[in-house]
Amino acid sequence: MTNSDSPIIFWFRRDLRITDHPGFHAACATGRPVIPVFLHDEGVERLGAAPKFRLGLGLAAFAAELERLGSALILRRGPALQSLQALVEETGAGAVWWTRGYDSVTIDRDTGVKTWFNSNDIDARSFPGHLLFEPWKVTTVTGGYYKVYSPFWRAVCQRDVGPALPAPSRFVKPAFWPETEALSSWQMDAPVNRAAPILRRHQSPGEVAALAKLDRFIGDRIGSYKNNRDFPALDATSELSDHFSLGELSPRIAWHRAQEAMRAGSAGAEHFLKELVWREFAYHLMFNSPRILDRNWREEWDNFPWSEDPENPGFVRWCRGQTGVPMVDAAMREMYVTGRMHNRARMIAASYLTKHLMIHWKLGMDWFAECLTDWDPASNAMGWQWVAGSGPDAAPYFRVFNPETQAAKFDPDGAYVNRWVAEGQARPAATALEFFDAIPRGWGLSPEGTYPIPGIALDAGRKRALAAYSTAFPPR
């Protein structure tokens, strides 16, 4: 077998789809056998409990979809380079291709993989696919990267996103399939413990489900998206974030569908496009300034007196949905039960933690990374630093969300709070009760318990935060 008719190993990562998949499309188009592979490389991507659980569901759905098309998904665990070397050896593959990642740890690992294979006569290539544009391709007039969203949005709008690719029309199977590990042996649901069956009810993994959800959103919701998207009790947003996170849906497909809706006169379409570009902006920032993932993007925040103690009682109560502030607790409980949290609720919960409780955004970001099934490193970090005030183009620190005012405005009849907070209600909603079935027994909470009293009154918390802010950043 020469290199030109040998199999291509396609290494899937956060790109679990076949439609509009540039790398997989190119591999199939060669007419060579293609071996789809997923490597569980925990040295590089150590996932929190809920994202790991969701990845397990995504892998099962993707493997089933590949099988339906006459292909398969080979699973291996361990450091990527060694796993790929073994697979090349076993299959006689002459190429290893994949879709690019953009965080520095992934880039370093992938560079090592590419260098090793290319210097050993194996064609190693990476492709775009996770974003509308590669993060280095959208630049300011001086060639730098954007630090403010609005000009970034304008720059994106001036570029051509390019057409979406169809699913490959044919797959050539290898002469034999290499051995695969069983997904069940990876126990992807173990870390979420007894929340697993509850979380499962709120997930619809896979590309087929993602495309159906996109259809539903464009058909039913996009027209009212602009007006309704801030009301957490309404089913008004696309709920596509977990699919984007695992690459089950191509952003290019969503972009073109929303563009069509906009041309047809849909009032909310432009707003939806703007949200897709917020995701794009998060990756642009992460690629160009990786410090956004774990350090204050604005260094002047390094001396701000945030608590960084994970045992801080305020932090523990926040994680457990026990702050005594209903809007915040509803948000935290929604996340624990569904793996999602409405965007407005994310902003309120994050603001409360970083401002009223003066707890470091990194602790909040890490708890979200543990609990969100749509966890995304770039959007999570950008979202937290935006709310905290330490990020690029961030909300100013003195803008402290008042959770009560926010509730009055965005949850006027209390439907969202009632959906998630059981205590004190004669007939609590089933969703509110699910929280108590999902949480660890060790938390010792029950729906019959008394609803907690806040550790600090809202006004006192706000004043304390603003006082700390004026001390750290005295007016000049």
Q: Which helix (H) or strand (E) holds 378?
A: helix 377-388
Written as one letter, the residue type at 415 is: A
Residue number closest to ligand FAD, CB atom:
383
Say if residues 329 and 420 touch (Cβ distance below 8 Å): yes
Distance CA 447, CA 322 (A): 12
Which CB atom, from 173 or from 399, has the smaller least distance to ligand FAD?
Answer: 399
Residues near ligand FAD, by CB under 6 A: 229, 237-241, 244-245, 275-276, 278-279, 282, 343, 346-347, 350, 368, 372, 374-376, 379-380, 383-384, 387
What is the closest distance, in whole angstroms, from the C-beta atom of residue 85 to ligand FAD in the complex?
33
Q: What share of the chain is helix, strand, coil (3-state, %, to 5)?
A: 50, 5, 40
Q: How crowded is residue 291: how many other Cβ atoms within 10 Å of its Cβ?
A: 13
What is the closest distance, in whole angstroms, from the C-beta atom of residue 225 to ligand FAD in the complex?
7
Which CB atom, from 379 or from 418, has the smaller least distance to ligand FAD?
Answer: 379
What is the closest distance, in whole angstroms, from the C-beta atom of residue 2 to ligand FAD in the complex?
43
What is the closest distance, in whole angstroms, from the C-beta atom of residue 378 to ligand FAD in the complex?
8
Which CB atom, from 346 or from 355, has the smaller least distance to ligand FAD?
Answer: 346
Say if residues 74 and 87 touch (Cβ distance below 8 Å): yes
Nearest one of 264, 292, 361, 367 to 49, comparing CA atoms:
367
What is the closest distance, in whole angstroms, from the C-beta atom of residue 146 to ligand FAD in the complex?
14
Distance CA 372, CA 349 (A): 14
What is the closest distance, in whole angstroms, from the C-beta atom of residue 344 to ligand FAD in the complex?
8
Say if residues 466 and 400 touch (Cβ distance below 8 Å): yes
Which CB atom, from 387 or from 438, has the smaller least distance to ligand FAD?
Answer: 387
Q: Which residue in this structure is represented by tokens 């993707």?
A: 62
Which CB atom, from 103 or from 376, has the smaller least distance to ligand FAD?
Answer: 376
What is the closest distance, in whole angstroms, from the C-beta atom of residue 467 to ligand FAD in the complex?
24
Q: At what angle do helices 104-118 and 80-91 cross, to 10 degrees?
A: 30
Residue 31, exposed/middle/buried by CB under 10 A (0-12, 13-18, 19+)? exposed
SS3 97: strand
Which CB atom, from 83 or from 288, has the smaller least distance to ligand FAD?
Answer: 288
Nearest one of 161, 136, 103, 129 to 17, comparing CA atoms:
129
Residues 6+ apart with CB under 8 A from 85: 116
Which CB atom, from 109 or from 279, has the smaller least distance to ligand FAD?
Answer: 279
Q: How crowded is residue 231: how many other Cβ atoms within 10 Å of its Cβ?
A: 18
What is the closest distance, in whole angstroms, from the C-beta atom of residue 276 to ligand FAD in the complex?
5
Which CB atom, from 224 or from 343, has the smaller least distance to ligand FAD?
Answer: 343
